Chain A
Amino acid sequence: MSFMSPAVRFQNVSRRFGSVRAVDNVSLDIEPGEFFALLGPSGSGKTTCLRLIAGFEQPDEGHIEIFGETADGVPPYRRNVNTVFQDYALFPHMTVGENVAYGLMIKGVGKAEREAKAKSALAMVKLAGYESRRTAQLSGGQRQRVALARALVNGPKVLLLDEPLGALDLKLREQMQEELKSLQTSLGITFVFVTHDQGEALSMANRVAIFNEGKIVQVGTPSDVYERPTSRFVADFVGSSNVLPPEFAAAHGGHAAWTSLRPEKIQIASQNALVPAACAHAKGIVTAISYQGAVTRITVATEKLALIASTPAGTDVRKGDSVSLIWPKSAMVAMGEGA
């Protein structure tokens, strides 16, 4: 039997700050080579989990293993794990090259060798020739790349990224998402990153753990958590969703359970439109229209509750129109509980 220990294993890990349980009985396996996202609102415990892996925090209860070795009581400087900090934490008294070579210098790697390695690490993040710059001269995106090179040059087994793209503007963020993905694929290192941006998590990660109030509420592939949320929290947090009460869902051909219905699954039609057999429908009146560029979000008040439909831009629906909402019954995903 071939057995490979997970890159990171949390076993019933808790971490308290005063009376607050920042991380509450979390168990989690992150497989080697995964691009794993810790997703959740601020204060949900995702960053504390990252800091537990890095060793900046120690668990109050439970155990953490990194590639099968216990991390209990192991200080950050003896872990083969490197971090890209949210605000990069580049050392202002060192040049870019010295920053990148810092970890190697600490390990006692000779000057010529570490300079060569720093140089190729900088080339990898497309900053060749920046060795002698001062960090204050760099833009946000460039600092991000330096921080990445500084972590990767040490050849970590796990790379931790704390809101790595949070400080970048939209265009740069999309570009860095692509680069991080291809970097991760080519290096094959386990990446664990923290984000509160569900779009970022869905587009970059192989798997996502969704945090709420110190607990993991769902783990799965991006399509798992998006298509089949198991709780209202996940349905709401990952993308936006219409949450249907059990009675409403049952009345429209779903199960008698709290049910998620994604806005983009709902079509808007005229009131007398034919409803295909596999579809459910509800009549209502348009109460709000929000233009969002590629899509338009239309709020329709039905008899029981207001539903949001997301349609490609350019619909000619107006506020006050009487419309029919049509969606496939299969688009209704029953969730575990009402919470």
Chain B
Amino acid sequence: MTTAVAERQRGIGGAISDLFFARPQLVTFLLLTPPLLWIGVVYIGSLFALLLQSFYSLDDFSGLVVHEFTLSTYAQLFEASNAQIILRTVTMAALVTVASAIIAFPIAYYAARYARGWTKALFYLAVMMPLWSSYLVKVYAWKLILAKEGIITWFANELHLRWLLDGILALPVVGGPSLSFSYLGTFLVFVYIWLPYMILPTQAALERVPANFIEASADLGADPRQTFRTVIFPLALPGIVAGSIFTFSLTLGDYIIPQIVGNSRLMIGQAVYTLQGTAGNIPLAAAFTVVPMLIMAVYLWMAKRMGAFDVL
């Protein structure tokens, strides 16, 4: 008499389970096909179409797109007014990134090293809550804060610091008639809006630095400053780089913040918006769009060469 080793399979569900168990690669295939189709066709495809557009040109007289390969559209990027847009945007993105990193680090460090229990929950709440409300609402709120009749001016008056505010606004380039019409205002709003994207990856990186690395460093004679420089910062760097990818690329592409808070000088995003809309110059808009992608590619390549991803 023999006893069956295998339990009898139960219905169609059981059969499917058995099939998946025997062929794990089938599961992978089924799971990956929809997202790959989405990314491959919709995302990469449209990116490719964009790239293609940037090699066409606009006929100045007819205002029609000439579907012939040319580099003349890219050459237009180097004309003074366009080059200034690029330079202005890249400078803004770089400054926003540096400022975000400097502000984010202590917050991330506190959250990773010291916050426990409810302080940790409070940290996540404080960092994430701004992300729950509408971006437009936040930007308009800032416009009110920074306006000439706004709370900052009011505070400056109350504290008899109006001379300081006026002095800052009188600065060349960054100043303006009021904070809401100056580069300084644009910068402040950018830093505020993108800060969570810098804090979270930095905190995640710091979270992964075991406490005993810090003890080992101290044990080997390093004071806290040396430990920070030689152990904590290098290990947090991949997180800071990840955060800077967000702050840098988001600033490069944004066209709403400089539209609402700032002077009338264009950033790349605004240029793309106007060129593809009212101007109907799709090729130049596409060429402008390629610029941030190239900058990010160069940036990532440099970060990799500096060893920012070695510890990942």
Count B interface residues, CB 8 Å: 20
Tell me, yes or no, whether B218 is within 8 Å of chain A by CB.
yes
Indicate if B212 sits at the interface (CB-CB under 8 A): yes
- Selected from B210, B220, B235, B311, the residue in CB contact (under 8 A) with A102 is B220
Residue from B215, B226, B234 in contact with A106 in the complex, judged by beta carbons closer than 8 Å? B226
Cβ of B20 within 8 Å of any chain A Cβ, yes or no, is no
Cβ–Cβ contact A83 & B311, under 8 A: no
Q: Is the CB of A76 within 8 A of B235?
A: no
- For B235, the chain A residues whose CB sits under 8 A away are 92-93
Q: Which residues of A contact B18 (CB under 8 A)?
A: none
Residues in B whose Cβ lies below 8 Å from that of A76: 215, 218-219
Q: Which of B212, B218, B220, B311 has its CB near the most chain A CB atoms (within 10 A)?
A: B220
Min Cβ gap A74→B in Å is 12
Q: Which parts of A62-107 form the interface with B (CB within 8 Å)?
A: 75-77, 81-83, 85, 87, 89, 91-93, 102-103, 105-107
Chain A residues near B230: list those with CB within 8 A.
Answer: 102, 105-106
Which residues of chain B are within 8 angstroms of A154 by Cβ–Cβ distance?
220-221
Classify chain A: how many residues form its interface, as a range.
20 to 34
Is A56 at the interface (CB under 8 A from chain B)?
yes
Q: Whole-angstrom distance between the alpha carbons of A102 and B310 in the complex?
A: 19
B216 close to chain A: CB less than 8 A: yes
**Interface residues of A, dominant DSSP:** mixed
> How far is A106 from B310 in the complex, measured between Cα atoms in Å?
22
- In the bound complex, what is the Cα–Cα distance between A150 and B221 (angstroms)? 12
Task: Determine the distance from Cα of A65 to Cα of B115 in the docked complex, in whole angstroms.
Answer: 34
A90 to chain B, nearest CB (A): 8
Minimum Cβ distance to chain A for residue B171 (Å): 40
A54 interface contact, C-beta 8 A: yes
Distance A241 CA – B97 CA, assembled complex (angstroms): 67
**In the complex, chain B residues 285-312 whose Cβ is within 8 Å of any chain A Cβ:** 307, 310-311
Interface residues of B in 200-248 (CB under 8 A from A): 210, 212-213, 215-223, 226, 230-231, 234-235
- Contact in complex: B219, A82 (CB < 8 Å): yes
B residues 136-184 in Cβ contact with A at 8 Å? none
Docked-complex contact B310 and A150, CB < 8 angstroms: no
Residue from A77, A85, A105 having most chain B Cβ neighbours under 10 A: A77
Q: Is the CB of A56 within 8 A of B215?
A: yes
The 3 closest A-B pairs by CB, nearest first: A103-B220, A89-B216, A76-B218
